[in-house]
Amino acid sequence: MASIARSLRPVASRFVPRSSRSAPSWRLSSFQARCFSASSAVQAKKYTKDHEWIELSEDKKTGYIGISEYAAHALGDVVYVELPTTPMEVAAGDSIGAVESVKSASDINSPISCKIIAVNDSLEEKPGMINKGPEDESSGGGWFAKVEVTEAGIKDLEGLMDGAEYKAFTEEE
């Protein structure tokens, strides 16, 4: 069972390099738990002016990055996603990859200073997942990267917009 789980989710074993063989299947169910208890277990999403979002875990040590619904809609069908290699340490605003649609490659920049520890490999085969669920950080979603948050990163968060501010911002455009 564990070996089947491992072949289905090769990325999972990269999250925790020291995990035992049974860890991947356990990790699968923790992603599902994350889905169901989304609002209380995690911090709310914060957004950049360039339409990237970051959502921290409850302990603020890790987070997920992606592009917003607004951005995914504006881009149209995503045909290619360029993911960063891991691990990668970045400062707020550094380019971490790109999404391509209508022959236009749009850079994705990191919202905060952090260390990229994992990427959503499924986007390589199925870039359209970004259009289906750009703000979804579950295993079937269109999230872009998983990160470890640094001290500097926590500070960077203060400059970002919350959901309501972001909504107002996009309506202004």
Partner 1 sequence: LTQMSAPTILRHIHLPGITPFSLAQSIQQRLVRQFLEYKALISSPSTPSPLPPPPDPTILTFTPTPVYTLGRREHDTLTPSQTSLLKSPLHPLNPESWKEIKNSNKVEPEYAEIVETQRGGQTTFHGPGQLVVYPILDLRSNFPKFPKGISVRCYVHLLESTTIATLGRWSIKGVRTENPGVWEESGERKIAALGVHLRRNVTSYGVGLNVQTDLRWFDRIVACGLVGKGVTSM
Nearer to partner 1, 107 or 162 (CB): 107
| Least distance (Å) between residue 19 CB and partner 1 | 31
| Least distance (Å) between residue 170 CB and partner 1 | 10
Q: Please give the angle made by the CA atoms of 83, 70 and 57, to the nearest 5 degrees.
A: 60
Nearer to partner 1, 93 or 140 (CB): 93
Nearer to partner 1, 23 or 88 (CB): 88
- Name the phi and psi angles at 45, rounded to 5: -70, 145
| Least distance (Å) between residue 104 CB and partner 1 | 4
Nearer to partner 1, 59 or 158 (CB): 158
- Who's near 5: CB < 8 A, 6+ residues apart? 12, 24, 25, 28
Nearer to partner 1, 12 or 83 (CB): 83
Note the residues at the interface with partner 1 (CB under 8 A). Answer: 49-50, 74-76, 80, 82, 93, 95, 98, 100-107, 109, 172-173
| Least distance (Å) between residue 85 CB and partner 1 | 13
| Least distance (Å) between residue 100 CB and partner 1 | 4
